[in-house]
Amino acid sequence: MGISWFNGRLIEGPVSLDPTDRGLTLGDGIFETLAVFNRCPAYLGAHLDRLGGGAEALGITVSRAKIESGVDELCRAQPHEHGILRITVTRGPGTRGLSGSGDTPTVLMTLAAWRRGTINAPVRLATSGVRRNIDSPASRHKTLSYADNILAAREAAAKGADDALLLNSQGRVACSTISNVFAIRGATLLTPPLSEGVLPGIVRARLLAVAASARLEAREAILNPDELADCDRIFLTNSIRLVRPVAALDGVPLRQGATASIDSLLAALCEEIARDTGRDPRDTDRADP
């Protein structure tokens, strides 16, 4: 199990959890997953902003300074120099009843080793029967309530795909179970707006910001599933895998154009992360384990 950081201190092995902890009993909390290079989490500030937004939406009060010091402590103590940091915040132990407040939030952090070949691997998508609920704030926060995503991911795996394409309640493109969706059409970079039931991805926001460096005009746009085959390239983004081209959708190969644009976007992202952490993610991803 390795070392974790749990409620203020480093521990080895299992956590000692109150059986009424609402993270365990009701998926009542939020989380973040971050890439760590040279013991430095990439885009930590943006991830903590998003965590804070989710906590506020759920009415959970948690100290940002405490989390920051825990991140630092765990990253220094772990044997993994490069890895994947997970920050989990629950409402903590609580009385029965959904609206009840917890006593004190539970904060748990773990750090797994980086695995070679994580970045830029092509992905085959299968459209899921599970749809993204645009009529819930939870679709725009990274809550612990991941049953919809888990059901969709299992459905995709059963179809032999790597991930699921999630449409929203209106049947339009939203995201995958773990990623935002982007399309390149000509000189334009497109991604669905957050109002489509989309998580505000950290890499999503960075790509929209650095698109000009790849000579792309970036904008949010409603995407219908039948438009995807007409785009030059569809790709997925998240904080760990960064950018991944979509090779096929529902068994049908998609166009693999705009490679230079995708390479430029990935390069701009990796240079930002290298400035932040002192390490280019591509070097870590290519390194021997």
Residues that bind a copy of itself (CB under 8 A): 1, 4, 6, 14-21, 23-28, 31, 57-59, 84, 86, 88, 90, 96-99, 108, 110, 112, 129-131, 133, 135-138, 141, 143-151, 153-154, 156-157, 169, 177-178
Look at strands 217-220 and 242-249 and give their pairing.
unpaired
Burial of residue 74, with CB atoms counted within 10 A of its CB: 0-12 exposed, 13-18 middle, 19 or more buried: buried
Burial of residue 9, with CB atoms counted within 10 A of its CB: 0-12 exposed, 13-18 middle, 19 or more buried: exposed
Q: Minimum distance between the CB of residue 189 and a copy of itself, rounded to whole angstroms?
A: 26
Determine contact, residues 31/88, Cβ cutoff 8 Å.
yes
Q: Minimum distance between the CB of residue 238 and a copy of itself, rounded to whole angstroms?
A: 12
- Longest pairwise C-alpha distance within the chain: 55
Q: Minimum distance between the CB of residue 193 and a copy of itself, rounded to whole angstroms?
A: 18
Direct distance between the N- and C-terminal alpha carbons of the chain, in angstroms, rounded to an integer: 19
Q: Minimum distance between the CB of residue 134 and a copy of itself, rounded to whole angstroms?
A: 8
Q: Minimum distance between the CB of residue 161 and a copy of itself, rounded to whole angstroms?
A: 10
Q: Minimum distance between the CB of residue 91 and a copy of itself, rounded to whole angstroms?
A: 8
Give 165's strand partners. 127, 176
Q: Decide whether 51 or 108 has the Cβ nearer to a copy of itself.
A: 108
Please name the amino acid found at residue 108: L
Q: Decide whether 16 or 65 has the Cβ nearer to a copy of itself.
A: 16
Q: Decide whether 57 or 205 has the Cβ nearer to a copy of itself.
A: 57
Give 238's strand partners. 242
**Backbone torsion region of residue 127, taken as left when φ is above 0, otherwise alpha when ψ lies between -120 and 50, otherwise beta:** beta
Q: Decide whether 138 or 262 has the Cβ nearer to a copy of itself.
A: 138
Q: Decide whether 21 or 232 has the Cβ nearer to a copy of itself.
A: 21
Q: Decide whether 16 or 79 has the Cβ nearer to a copy of itself.
A: 16
